[in-house]
Amino acid sequence: MKLNLLLFGLFLSLNLSAQYAQLSEQAEVSLITVGPGPNLVDCFGHSALRVNDPDLNMDKAYNYGIYDTSEESFYVKFSLGTIDYIVADYDFDRFYRNYKAQNRWITEQVLNITLEEKQAIFEFLETNTLPQNRSYRYDQFFNNCATKLRDIPKSVLGDQLLFHEDPEKVGLTMRELVDENSFNHAWLDFGIDIALGNIIDKNVGVEAHMYLPDYVLSGYDNATILRNGEEVPAIKTTNKLFESDFYEQAQKSFTPTLLFSVIALVVIIVSVLDWLKKKRSHWLDFFIFFTTGLIGFLVLFLWFGTHHTTTINNLNILWAFAPNLIIAFLMLKKNPKKWLMVYVRFLVIALIAMTFVWIGRLQVYNTALIPIMIMLTVRYVYLWQKGLVGTRKRAF
């Protein structure tokens, strides 16, 4: 029985191997990095693998960044962290022309590997493109088109492939890398900083940095392969297939910091006037509490209600406090409950705690939150010291 199983396994292995073309000595396996593009989803760049064998008249791109927005409930699945991406293989010239037309730079890094290793990577990619294998659960930081370029060669080369730290990048966190790549998309950067928790504020190594295409490129620039006890460069040659820095030039835009600074100024002025006139602007309190409560609810939903790996432990709840969503309606009353004074006192303490969290880098907040923190502190202190007290006195 055991002999029969062994023979069957051997037959199956040979059969599977036979279905793939055998690469020639002229074959090359390359890592392709594409620069940022015009849309929000393109600002972090893109990656793909290339297998080119002139003898077989084959030149294919393996693109792990394929998704279909027309898929049923696509945006719901994406929000919940349950979206699947797929890998597609097609003619490399088509891949190249597509990104060149978008005016995005394209760089190729040819791997310095043996024919057997090229064959193993090629067969891995071909197996991945089979209908039953081509989909994978997408994760923005841990399983995307860029991490595939790190993981697939690693699965073949094992511990022989060594990624070395770039001295200029040591100590950078994932959040800092997001900031670095989204400098022309301030609102996207702000949204990411609100949605994601402190898991992306930890110091990580070079391999964790390689969730971004740029850092796959730099990671392999510094990588080596262990051959007979000696380390040789992992990249044989680098080819700049198309050059353009159009989407990496700084652009002026209306930033969250500017908007929130204006709003904060208005709220502070209204709070001072309320103090001097001994009245309370109920509409303003409703707006502040409702907005911060709604954002807090979304933060908690992303934390507990989705499958995202980076939305947990989100200390934005120190200012975006979900119960405010209910308190907002109580603030509309002319004579609010006495315990609300204790509640706003707690909110002031939470803002103080947020300051220490930021200083201690337990979580790094977006700088656009500075005017919001100042605004909330001023308004909460006013409510604690005068606003709610004064309202209750007039009720007697």
Confidence (pLDDT) at 12: 42
Q: Tell me whether residue 175 is in a domain.
A: no
47-61, 188-202, 243-257, 261-275: least confident range: 243-257
Residues 216 and 85 in one domain: yes
Residues 287 and 209 in one domain: no
Question: What mean pLDDT do residues 47-60 have?
Answer: 97
Question: What mean pLDDT do residues 155-181 have?
Answer: 90
Confidence (pLDDT) at 76: 85
DSSP 223-252: -EEEETTEEEESEEEEEEEE---GGGS---
Residues 296 and 235 in one domain: no
Task: Write down which residue in 248, 282, 306 finishes a domain.
Answer: 248
Smallest CA-to-CA distance from 324 within 285, 279, 280 is with 285
Residues 57 and 157 in one domain: yes
Residues 154 and 266 in one domain: no
Q: pLDDT band at 11, cuts 50/70/90?
A: very low
Q: Tell me whether residue 317 is in a domain.
A: yes
Q: Which helix (H) or strand (E) holds 63?
A: strand 58-66
Residues 296 and 217 in one domain: no
- How many domains does the chain divide into? 2
Q: Tell me whether residue 273 is in a domain.
A: yes
Q: Tell me whether residue 282 is in a domain.
A: yes
Distance CA 53, CA 20 (A): 13
Q: Tell me whether residue 293 is in a domain.
A: yes
Q: pLDDT band at 393, cuts 50/70/90?
A: very low
Residue 246 pLDDT > 90? no
Residues 237 and 285 in one domain: no
91-95, 157-161, 253-257, 371-375: least confident range: 253-257
Task: Kindly report the CATH number assigned to the domain that includes residue 235.
Answer: 3.90.1720
How much is the mean pLDDT over the chain? Answer: 90
Residues 80 and 152 in one domain: yes
Residue 280 main-chain phi, psi, to 5 deg: -130, 130
Length of the chain: 396
Confidence (pLDDT) at 390: 55
Residue-number span of the structural domain to which 321 is assigned: 256-391
Task: Write down which residue in 248, 281, 312 finishes a domain.
Answer: 248
Residue 196 pLDDT > 50? yes
Own/partner long-range contacts of 184-188 (Cβ < 8 Å, ≥24 apart): 184/43, 184/247, 184/250, 184/251, 184/253, 185/40, 185/43, 186/253, 186/255, 186/256, 186/257, 186/368, 187/255, 187/256, 188/40, 188/43
Residue 14 pLDDT > 50? no
Q: pLDDT band at 79, cuts 50/70/90?
A: confident
* Paired sense of beta strands 46-53 and 58-66, if any: antiparallel
Confidence (pLDDT) at 174: 93
User: Within its chain, how far is the Cα of 22 from the centroid?
Assistant: 38
Residue 129 pLDDT > 90? yes
Question: What mean pLDDT do residues 32-36 have?
Answer: 96
Question: What mean pLDDT do residues 65-75 have?
Answer: 80
Q: Tell me whether residue 189 is in a domain.
A: no
Task: Write down which residue in 222, 248, 274 finishes a domain.
Answer: 248
Question: What mean pLDDT do residues 24-37 have?
Answer: 96
Distance CA 33, CA 115 (A): 23
Most confident by average pLDDT, 17-26, 199-208, 299-308: 299-308
Q: Which residue(s) pair with 161 in the sheet?
A: 225
Question: What mean pLDDT do residues 253-257 have?
Answer: 89
Residues 137 and 270 in one domain: no
Confidence (pLDDT) at 4: 43
Residues 31 and 148 in one domain: yes
Distance CA 386, CA 52 (A): 74
Condensed to tens digits (0 to 9), the pLDDT of residues 294-347 reads 999 999 999 999 999 999 999 999 999 999 999 999 999 888 888 999 999 999
Decide: 234 and 161 in contact? Cβ < 8 Å. yes
Smallest CA-to-CA distance from 368 within 295, 308, 297, 309 is with 295
Percent of the chain with pLDDT over 90: 75
Q: Tell me whether residue 178 is in a domain.
A: no
Residues 232 and 333 in one domain: no
Question: What mean pLDDT do residues 154-160 have?
Answer: 95
Residues 308 and 384 in one domain: yes
Q: What residue has token string 């030039």?
A: 249
35-39, 44-48, 310-314, 376-380: least confident range: 35-39
Confidence (pLDDT) at 388: 79
In sequence order, the 6+-apart residues with CB closer than 8 A to the CB of 234 are: 111, 112, 161, 162, 220, 223, 224, 225
Question: What mean pLDDT do residues 47-74 have?
Answer: 91
Residue 189 pLDDT > 60? yes
Distance CA 385, CA 379 (A): 10
More confident residue, 19 or 353: 353
Q: Which residue(s) pair with 238 in the sheet?
A: 109
Q: Tell me whether residue 149 is in a domain.
A: yes
Q: pTM (2 decimals)?
A: 0.86
